[in-house]
Structure 1
Amino acid sequence: MYVILEIIQTICYLIYCIIEATVRIFVPEKKKSFAGKLVLVTGAGHGIGRELSLKFSAIGARLVLWDINKDNVESVVREIQENGGTATSYICDVSKIDEIKSVADKVRREIGDVDALVNNAGILHGAAFLTLTDEEIKRTIDINLLAYFWTCRQFLPPMINRNSGHIVNVASMAAKKGVAYLTDYAASKHGVEGFTDALSDEMRREGYDGLYFTTVFPMFVDTGMTKFAHDRLSKMLSPAEVASAVVEGVQRNKKSVYIPSNLDWSVRIGGLFPRKFVDEPTDLMYRGIDPQK
């Protein structure tokens, strides 16, 4: 009897979710305000990180910018300040857990608890698997994945205490489909997706309904990291395009942000295609890179 009731309850919940999703297509969730909120962005000195910092500042957020390059990140701080915004920079090598802990502690003492954490810092080698050095593989995982663990462990507890906060983890479309010469990169980005999904579900199960998690899935972006890209169906994205889509998605509490947005449907529909078509696409459909070294 109880199983039948649970089946009915589940069907009703499914119908509710379908109706809600349909309504959201035509009536998006209202944008939340970031005015006065403290947003921390890693890898903020260039590329997507720089543009994210400028976009969040433009909607009123106060920025804490982390980067390994002092000149670059201080340049972004000056740009934000010249536009009337508030930003502070910190030098941090996110491949080192002790440095993350130390700089995070400094941020808390000097500025306070962050309202939103944007894990953006990343690297890409783009080499054949057997030519990658042990250190290159380790560094990719350290920066692209493990750093996300360490920053979340530093900044999530205060969010939990006040049941309010947003964590944004930048993955990649390589998280959805691994391709040649991106073995280490794709593995790290698959990890980012799995980590974010699991952490989000854990917070939901523990009753923290004021915490939000967003995973970002951009296609090839013109940041200088990706060279020799193959993608005949779409153009190389600019960092500004990516940042605009991310900030828009975060303001609407989206769990996933695909850039360009049509990739969301491509991923869904792709599951219906024969496996051979997905694993061995034609030249027209193939998206990947040539070796970069």
Structure 2
Amino acid sequence: MAAIVGGLVSHVYNLVLSPFVTGPLLAAVTYRPNESQNLLSTYAGGFPGLGALDLKLAITALRLLFGVGLLRFINQNLNVRAANAWRTGPSKGWNWSEEIAVVTGGASGIGKDLARNLAGRGTKVVVLDIQDMPKELHDNPLISHYHCDLMSKDSIGAAAAAVRKDVGHPTILVNNAGVSQAKPILDQSEPYLRAVFGVNNIAHWLCVQQFMPHMIEKNKGHIVTVASIGSFVSLSSGVAYAATKAAALAFHEGLGVELKHIYRADNVLTTVVHPFFVDTPLIAEISNGLTDSGLTLLASNVVADAISERIWSKRGGQVTVPNSRALLSGVRAWPGWLQEVLRDIIGSGTRKAGEGRTWTIPEW
């Protein structure tokens, strides 16, 4: 129910701020005032106080909405163009039945749903994962699985060489795999820290080093980095995870700059994705606590659908899931006190999610 209400609110919000809706309405009440007043009286007359609304008030409100909506529309279009080497249209040369996509961590969660989506368009999909292939993907001839330890440079190198030999050179790379534990800083061991940074960050470099050279050579490709809302707001009892996601965002930004200015391959697209809390095995140990705290968890297929749509749009950029959380990307520009209020709210929620668990403080 919460998801339905949230979707409805989002649609209404987008409708109210669409200059293609408010513009014609503003023109109507400005240049056809008598007809507009009659319509307003007819349709609003059944609501006490609305039937006698002054057109001046309506015009003022519509001017405000039109102005804000127009600025929003221009800003969104500039964002899209800036993220795509200022092209006016989508990248060219894509044929989904001829593409090859590598999805790390594709044996479960978001990656599994994404693999299914891409294969549904006829794309060959290669799953790199230390986990076995799930049964529901076994029978799909377009999906292959290569056992790969993303913490190991040698394992990634061997898997990449096998992919190039058996399937071909990938044109899409989705760095999706991630690990996390809900523990406070003093309870996070060194092996875990090395694992979370290894899988969530270093593997991005290693996979790009394996697959991007051919994309640069052909000046065609799409590299997707799955980050998190934690890229912008550090998470209590998940500081290591949030730190890796902030690093993932920096990786995405730097990658795009290098592709344009160092490798001169501006048709290799880059996208970064920031999901809110997703109901996957990654947060299974705290999912009940999060929902009890009032948070609505995203289904993994919702995030996979958003990634798929971005790939199929043939455009790069930044994607926040759900889009209603996009304002969080500007947290770092908020006043310090307001940032602290937000961190306190999140910290209180994650504390409640971890209630009943035992934390240890190491002795040195």
Bin of the TM-score, shorter chain as denominator length: 0.7 to 0.9
Q: Does 2:164 align with 1:108?
A: yes
The amino acid across from 2:274 in the alignment is F
**What is the match of residue 225 of structure 1?**
282
| CA distance in 1 between partners of 2:152 and 2:109 (Å) | 22
Aligned residues: 267
Q: Does the CA contact (< 8 Å) of 1:218 and 1:242 recur in 2? A: yes
**What is the match of residue 106 of structure 2?**
44
| CA distance in 1 between partners of 2:96 and 2:186 (Å) | 45
Q: Does the CA contact (< 8 Å) of 1:41 and 1:65 recur in 2? A: yes
Q: Does 2:111 align with 1:55?
A: no
Give 2:339's match in structure 1, choosing from 266, 278, 287.
278
* TM-score, normalising length: structure 1: 0.82
Shift of 1:126: 1.2
Note the 1:140-151 alignment, pairs <5 A. Answer: 140-151=196-207
* TM-score, normalising length: structure 2: 0.67
Shift of 1:209: 1.6
Give 1:261's match in structure 2, choosing from 323, 340, 345.
323
| CA distance in 2 between partners of 1:22 and 1:194 (Å) | 17
Residue by residue over 1:210-250, the C-alpha shift from the partner in whole angstroms, topping out at 9 and shown as x without a partner, is 10011110000000222232796752000000100111122
| CA distance in 2 between partners of 1:211 and 1:42 (Å) | 19
Alignment gaps of 5+ in structure 1 = 1-16
Q: Does the CA contact (< 8 Å) of 1:113 and 1:155 recur in 2? A: yes
Residue by residue over 1:80-116, the C-alpha shift from the partner in whole angstroms, topping out at 9 and shown as x without a partner, is 34xxxx1111111101111001111111111110010
| CA distance in 2 between partners of 1:271 and 1:92 (Å) | 36
Shift of 1:276: 1.2
Alignment gaps of 5+ in structure 2 = 1-73, 82-87, 359-364
**What is the match of residue 11 of structure 1?**
none
Q: Does 2:137 align with 1:77?
A: yes
**What is the match of residue 241 of structure 1?**
302
CA RMSD across the alignment:
2.7
Give 2:155's match in structure 1, choosing from 99, 112, 116.
99
Residue by residue over 1:24-49, the C-alpha shift from the partner in whole angstroms, topping out at 9 and shown as x without a partner, is 8xxx9669652321001111111111
Note the 1:165-244 alignment, pairs <5 A. Answer: 165-206=221-262, 207-226=264-283, 227=286, 228-229=289-290, 235-244=296-305
Residue by residue over 1:129-161, the C-alpha shift from the partner in whole angstroms, topping out at 9 and shown as x without a partner, is 011111011110001110111000000001011
Higher strand share: 1
Q: 1:232 to 1:254 in 2, by over 3 A?
A: farther
| CA distance in 2 between partners of 1:242 and 1:288 (Å) | 22
Percent identity between the aligned chains? 26
Bigger Rg, structure 1 or 2: 2
Q: Does 2:97 align with 1:35?
A: yes
| CA distance in 2 between partners of 1:122 and 1:140 (Å) | 7
Shift of 1:282: 8.3
| CA distance in 1 between partners of 2:294 and 2:97 (Å) | 38
Higher normalized contact order (CA 8 Å, seq sep 6+, divided by chain length) = 1
